[in-house]
Amino acid sequence: MTRIAIDAMGGDHAPFEIIAGAVWAAAEYGVALELVGKQDRIEHCLEVIQQEGFLSDCGKAGRRRRVRVDVKSLDIKITHASEIIEMGEAPGQAIRKKKNSSIVLTVNSVATGSSDALVAAGSTGAAMASSLFGLGRIPGIDRPAIAVTLPTMKKPIVIIDAGANSNCTPQMLRQFAIMGMTFSKNVLGVEKPRVGVLNIGEEAGKGNELAQNTYNLLEEEKEKFNFMGNVEGRELFLNLCDVVVCDGFVGNVALKITEGTSSMLFRMIKSEFKSDFLGMIIGLLAKPFMKRIYEKINYEEFGGALLLGVKGITVISHGRSRAYAIKNAVRVAKEAVETGVNSKISESIDGQK
């Protein structure tokens, strides 16, 4: 059985929501767990969940229900971790200093083969640094990158890098393209993924040095990358391509602005409907429709982003993740294990050398 290691102490709602999401996933997807963190707190959470279950909105805004999981029937291993890496700590230093931190031991579980993949919702920097340090890079990959799946009108699009590397070279972005294509093909099932460069204009020669040089590099191997050229932010959601490469700074800004814009719009809509009595009634009628859209674009559905390029599967979840998001993150981890995305990346990189 696939075993997923979970950093039970990482994230804004750790440990309870993290553990709740993990056992929920274990029951639903038939995976085994290794929960890493303060043993007494983990045991306490498991007891509460066994007895009372937990409340979750199941990704449906405002529709909370009690979820029951028979924890005793699951294959759960607990690994005690005496330390926690906090959000503010410098990742590199922190993982060297806190060898018994939950994230380091979670990664260790995958490194030693005890677990097949890991899910972490704490400090993204610490999850990346410990994965890089503990799992090592796939040969041929210079820098691992975060692949995020964004909803669009039709099928989801992959943005890579969404935050692992703030300073990049064109060669790195070329590797991101290879990893993103492998992910798109094997995990999302896109037959022949089309690659684009996130840029501020369509024409060649637009943008900063990195974007220009990446364009030239990918244009040289146009067919291999099914290269669509530059993609502007406005066109990101129009399905002009399946994989968009950019440096981690731009990718992270892009990702968070998408989140920020949609949450602002939903708040605007809510307050507009509340502006008069008729509006309140129409708003109530419109609610189920708005909810369906909310669910389509809700990051919780996607659960987590894969750190691609390390020798092991690391799923990085949103710091704000609650049980439902963690459940989906475990699903993403399981799919990544089953589709063998890492070995596929190794093969692709070998083939491209």
Q: Which residues bind a second copy (CB under 8 A)?
A: 87-88, 90, 152-153, 163, 166-167, 198, 200, 203, 205, 207-209, 211, 232-238, 246-250, 252-265, 267-269, 271-273, 275, 279, 282-283, 285-286, 289-290, 292-293, 296-297
Nearest distance from C-beta of residue 152 to a second copy, angstroms: 7
In the chain, the amino acid numbered 54 is F
Q: Residue 305 gets which letter from DSSP? A: E
- Residue with smaller CB distance to a second copy, 273 or 302: 273
Nearest distance from C-beta of residue 135 to a second copy, angstroms: 23
Distance from C-alpha of 139 to C-alpha of 327, rounded to nearest angstrom:
31
Q: Which token pair is 103?
A: 């994230």
- Residue with smaller CB distance to a second copy, 247 or 335: 247
CB 83, CB 100: distance < 8 Å: yes
Q: Residue 83 gets which letter from DSSP? A: B
CB 160, CB 50: distance < 8 Å: no
In the chain, the amino acid numbered 265 is L
Nearest distance from C-beta of residue 213 to a second copy, angstroms: 12
- Residue with smaller CB distance to a second copy, 9 or 254: 254
Nearest distance from C-beta of residue 349 to a second copy, angstroms: 25
Q: Which token pair is 87?
A: 């959000």
- Residue with smaller CB distance to a second copy, 73 or 271: 271
- Residue with smaller CB distance to a second copy, 109 or 165: 165
Nearest distance from C-beta of residue 125 to a second copy, angstroms: 8
How crowded is residue 36: how many other Cβ atoms within 10 Å of its Cβ?
30
- Residue with smaller CB distance to a second copy, 261 or 343: 261
Nearest distance from C-beta of residue 162 to a second copy, angstroms: 10
- Residue with smaller CB distance to a second copy, 57 or 259: 259
- Residue with smaller CB distance to a second copy, 115 or 123: 123
Give the dihedral of Cα atoms 185, 330, 127, 184; nearest 10 deg: 10
- Residue with smaller CB distance to a second copy, 221 or 259: 259
- Cα distance between the two ends of the chain: 35
Nearest distance from C-beta of residue 246 to a second copy, angstroms: 8
CB 56, CB 64: distance < 8 Å: yes
How many alpha carbons lie under 13 Å from residue 159 in its C-beta half-sphere? 28
Q: Residue 137 gets which letter from DSSP? A: B
Nearest distance from C-beta of residue 175 to a second copy, angstroms: 19
Distance from C-alpha of 209 to C-alpha of 205, rounded to nearest angstrom:
9
Nearest distance from C-beta of residue 62 to a second copy, angstroms: 17
- With tokens 């900063």, the residue in question is 208
**What are 23's strand-pairing partners?**
none
- With tokens 């199941």, the residue in question is 58
**What are 12's strand-pairing partners?**
none
In the chain, the amino acid numbered 329 is A
Rg (CA), the chain: 21
